[in-house]
Amino acid sequence: MTALNPTPHRRLRRRMAIVSTVAAGGLLLAACGGNDMDGMDHGSAGSASASPSRTAADNPAPGAFNDADVMFAQMMIPHHEQALEMSELADGRASDAEVKALVADIEKAQDPEIRTMRSWLKAWGKPESAEEGMPGMDHGSGGMDHGAGMSGMMSEGDMKKLQAAKGTEFDRMFAEMMIDHHEGAITMAEGEQKNGRNATAKKLAADVVKTQSAEVAKLEKILDRL
């Protein structure tokens, strides 16, 4: 098997797909919310009913929040989960020391962020998956693939190719895939910075942009020498 070596045109198409997916997510918010997103203030005085068991002191994401904040968490959780799945495949397959170091960094950062975003959704009284709130959606086996079409997500075929690779081939493939994956997360986080309302969620989005942009730069340098 040969390693992935996307042309600039492929990378451009990937980035265009990422932007299109985020735009589609915005349309989904509008359709599900039924109101102007900026006007959907769930965190002011009347929002206490969303989580009556929590006080302002122990709320993990206190203050106002809107549909963009909810969608950010609902989309970023499975996005992070796939990054962790990709990182787990590095065990016994990766050979490059820098790739292994980045894998450790990804696991260290993203696993806690998943737990944090789950705590927000629980406090806000929202489901972990956006589809859970959609009537008529088939959530059983053979139903919707919750990662399908999401910004930067790898397909099942991509993941199988990564699993089958070893050594330098794995290192190159992992770097290429994780660059695309990170670029998707960065685009989603930038959308949260622009459209979100909750200060805690926007802070995490800023952290995602900063951390994953730095990791993309490292991965590109790794590719240059592999």
Q: Which pLDDT score is estimated for 42?
A: 53
**Regarding predicted confidence, which is higher, 133 or 106?**
106
Q: Which pLDDT score is estimated for 43?
A: 52
How far is residue 90's CA from residue 177's CA, in Å, rounded to a whole number?
13
How far is residue 10's CA from residue 89's CA, in Å, rounded to a whole number?
24
How far is residue 98's CA from residue 85's CA, in Å, rounded to a whole number?
18
- Could you give the domains of the chain? 69-128+149-226 (1.20.1260.10)
Q: Which of 105, 87, 95 is nearest to 212 (CA)?
A: 105
How far is residue 190's CA from residue 72's CA, in Å, rounded to a whole number?
10
**Length of the chain measured in residues:** 226
**CA-to-CA separations, 50 to 9, 11, 64, 130, in angstroms, rounded:** 46, 42, 12, 16
**Is the per-residue pLDDT at 54 higher than 80?**
no
Query: Is the overall model pTM greater than 0.75, yes or no?
Result: no
Q: Which pLDDT score is estimated for 18?
A: 45
Q: At what angle do helices 156-164 and 167-195 cross, to 10 degrees?
A: 150
Q: Which pLDDT score is estimated for 37?
A: 40
Residues 192 and 145: beta-carbon distance below 8 Å: no
Give the confidence band of 31 by pLDDT, cuts at 50, 70, 90.
Answer: very low
Q: Provide the mean pLDDT of the chain.
A: 79
